[in-house]
Structure formats: C-alpha cells, structure tokens
Amino acid sequence: MQTITTDVIIIGAGPCGLFTVFEAGLLKWHCHLIDYLPTPGGQCSEIYPKKPIYDIPGFPSVLAGELVDNLVKQGAPFHPTFSMGERAESMEKLDDGTFRVTTSRGTVVNGKTVFLAGGLGCFEPRKPSISNLAEFEDRGVEYIIKDPEFYRGKKVVIGGGGDSALDWTIVLADIASEVTLVHRSQMFRAAPDSVQKAQDLAAAGKITMCTDGQVTGLSGDGKLERVTLTFNDNTTRDQETDHYIPLFGLSPKLGPIANWGLGLEKNAVTVDPLTFMTNVEGVYAVGDISEYPNKLKLILCGFHEAAVALNVEYQRQNPEKKHVLKYTTVTGITELA
Ligand SMILES: Cc1cc2nc3c(=O)[nH]c(=O)nc-3n(C[C@H](O)[C@H](O)[C@H](O)COP(=O)(O)OP(=O)(O)OC[C@H]3O[C@@H](n4cnc5c(N)ncnc54)[C@H](O)[C@@H]3O)c2cc1C
C-alpha cells in the first residue's frame, strides 16, 4: 500500500484536472492526480482525440489529443504525480482539516485540499451481451485500444458504428493483418468522412465491412480464436480472429463520489457559483462534474473554475495574507522542486 502526501489531491486527469495542476503550480502547490483511465485526458483522449475543438480561446482549432498533450506539457514544470488506472473510492476529512483519499488499489493520498475534476464520472465500457464475454476479457477481448501497435500483424474484429469504431478501423487498417468491422445496421453514427474512408478501404480490399450483423459468440482455447457472427436474416458464420474489440461507447458513472456526502444534482456535484466549493469546506468541483445555475459543460469554463477555486483555497489556507494576483508575463514560470 502506497501513501502519498501532496498539497492538492485532484480526482480526474481530464483537461480540467490537468489545468488545475498548472494553476496550483503558480501558487507553488504540488498536485497528485488520480484517474481510473490508464492515460490522462478524460473525454478528450477517450472519446474524440482526433477531433478538432474550435472553442478553446486562442486556438482557432486544436485536436483534442493535442490539447491534452499541451496541458500535460504546461503542467510539467510543477512535477505532478499520478495514480493512473485507479479509482478514488473514499474521501475523509481528518481532524486537522486535511483530507485523505483512498483508491481502488489501496493507494492513500493525503492533501490539504481536494479538487474533484471527475467529469461525468468513471468511464465504463458498454459491453455486448455475450454469455461467455468475461472469460475472454484481456484474452482477446478489449474495450479500449491503449496502443494500436499491440495489434500489429493480428486479425481484429471491431464492433460498433460510432466514431470510435470507425476511427480505429481506419487506423488499424494499416497495422493489423486483417480488420473486420461489424455493425448491426447499415446506418453509421460516425462522422460522414470517417464512414466514407472506411467504405473506401473496404472497396480497396483493405478491410471487411459486415453490416446488418453482430458478434454473438466467442470461442477459443484459453484465448480468443474465433467469433460467431449472426446477421439480421438469422444466418450465422464463424470467423477466425485474434481480437474482438467492441467499441459501443463508454458510459460514465459518477461512481463512489456520489457517496461522499456532497450535494448532488443532475448526476453532478453542486457548488457555490462564486467559489466552486462544495458543501465540504476545502473540497471543490471543477469542470463537467460541477453543477451551479447556468453551468456550461465546456472545457474553457472548467479552466476558469479551476483558477478561481485555487485562489479561493489559497485565501482560505492563508487568511492572514493578502493574496495579490500576479500575471505570468511578470512572474514567468518557477519550476517546483
Ligand atoms: C464528442 C465530444 C465532443 C466535445 N466537444 C467539445 C468542444 O468542442 N468544446 C468543449 O469545450 N467541450 C467539448 N466537449 C466536452 C468536453 O470534452 C468536456 O467538457 C471536458 O472533457 C470536461 O473535462 P473534465 O476534465 O471536467 O472531465 P473529463 O474529461 O470527463 O475527465 C474526467 C476524468 O475523471 C476520471 N474520474 C471520474 N471519477 C473518478 C474517480 N472516482 N476516480 C478516478 N478517476 C475518476 C475519469 O476517468 C476521467 O478521465 C465534448 C465532449 C464530447 C464527448
């Protein structure tokens, strides 16, 4: 069991959690981030890394994945630490007013303040209903593509008709030895240009597209070796494959945070709209997880909330000091030890 002591405990390493690191660094505070996902970026990395965002001030267009890379770079001088692939399970306020957060792997993080930047909650994959699915999880069935190179030279069946399924079909066409996209209808929910690209790849014989069908069975000896496809006309056929990747979307669940005694509304945490503090003194909610009148679930609003909340917390911890806002153009960036 690992114990970490920091100034700011940040739950969620999405764009707003990452920007909290930068703003905290300006106040000379260290941060520790906890995220259930294996890599930082939240929705930007998991759902739409290759989509351009047009409403980040100062960037006429920036790919969501690029924005995340930049946020990680921007916070780097302040040396944040991370517990990735861990879910924050419990939060306690100790007698001395500090906080203790414990994760699903038993990591204990102690800090002076807690910033909830958990977005819509922990992303859990929507799973197809196949009776022996669990038997093949991580033995050929994956719900998230962490590293496309893992599939080099492999036979892959991708399920789904949304952006994620189409985008990964296109990427893996150049990496895997065989890619089959299986979708239960002929209508796709993905961006039209992705659908066109996949159809072009199919016409060129680089991938196979199976519409009006779905994967209904899995078999193999200790690892996945084949899938059974069932079509809408009730015909079935088996297909050899090394991997089946159902990309049916990620469904966010507020999860354990909902049981921490915080005010809740619309599956989010209610905050004071002037300070972004929750009903627990010293605990703030920024980004998509916070709820207040006229809340906009936009990245730029989360950035603003993080900046304001950190300065409120600074004043709370240092009531005797007059906090003077300093411009980074004047102070520059002072790396933390
Ligand atoms: C397709 C799409 C397009 C979008 N386009 C735009 C756009 O153009 N402009 C814009 O401003 N916004 C856009 N958004 C919304 C934007 O992505 C969100 O506002 C933003 O991601 C919120 O950031 P966040 O850091 O608050 O939360 P998130 O990005 O949701 O990250 C939260 C993180 O917290 C983690 N987490 C939650 N609970 C726990 C826990 N208990 N323990 C550990 N980890 C936890 C999750 O795993 C997740 O990684 C778009 C969203 C989608 C889905």
- Describe the crossing of helices 192-203 and 163-172 by its angle, rounded to 10 degrees: 40
Substitution site in 20, 36, 43 for ligand 1 pocket (most atoms within 8 Å of beta carbon): 43
Report how far Cα 161 is from the mean position of its chain's Cα atoms: 20
Does ligand 1 lie within 6 Å of residue 190's CB atom?
Answer: no
Confidence of residue 6 (pLDDT cuts 50, 70, 90): very high
Q: Which atom of ligand 1 lies closest to the CA of 289?
A: 26
10 lines ligand 1 (CB under 6 A): no
Say how many Å lie between the CA of residue 15 and the centre of ligand 1.
7
Q: What is the mean pLDDT of the chain?
A: 95
> Both tokens of residue 74?
């921007």
Contacts of 122 (CB under 8 A, 6+ apart): 36, 87, 252, 253, 255
CA-closest residue to ligand 1 atom 46: 122
- What whole-number distance in Å separates Cα of residue 105 and Cα of residue 2? 9
pLDDT tens-digit map of 298-334:
999 999 999 999 999 999 999 999 878 889 999 999 9
Out of 120, 254, 299, 300, mutate this one to test ligand 1's pocket (max ligand atoms within 8 Å of CB): namely 299
**Ligand 1, atom 8, residue with closest C-alpha:** 53
Q: Which residues of 7-43 are buried (b: 16+ CB within 10 A; e: fewer)?
A: bbbbbbbbbbbbbbbbbbbbbebbbbbbbbbebbbbb
CA of 17 to the centre of ligand 1 (A): 10
User: Can you give the pLDDT at residue 212?
Assistant: 97
Q: Is the pLDDT of residue 1 over 80?
A: no
- Hey, whose CA ends up nearest to atom 49 of ligand 1? 42
3-state secondary structure (DSSP) of residue 44: helix
**Model confidence over 130-150: pLDDT tens digits?**
999 999 998 999 998 877 899
Burial class (CB in 10 A: 0-12, 13-18, 19+), 187: exposed
Where is average pLDDT lowest: 140-144, 228-232, 276-280, 306-310? 140-144
* H helix intervals, 173-318: 192-203, 299-317
Q: Is 257 in the pocket of ligand 1 (CB under 6 A)?
A: yes
In this structure, the residue with its CA closest to atom 12 of ligand 1 is 298
Amino acid identity, residue 98? T
123 lines ligand 1 (CB under 6 A): yes
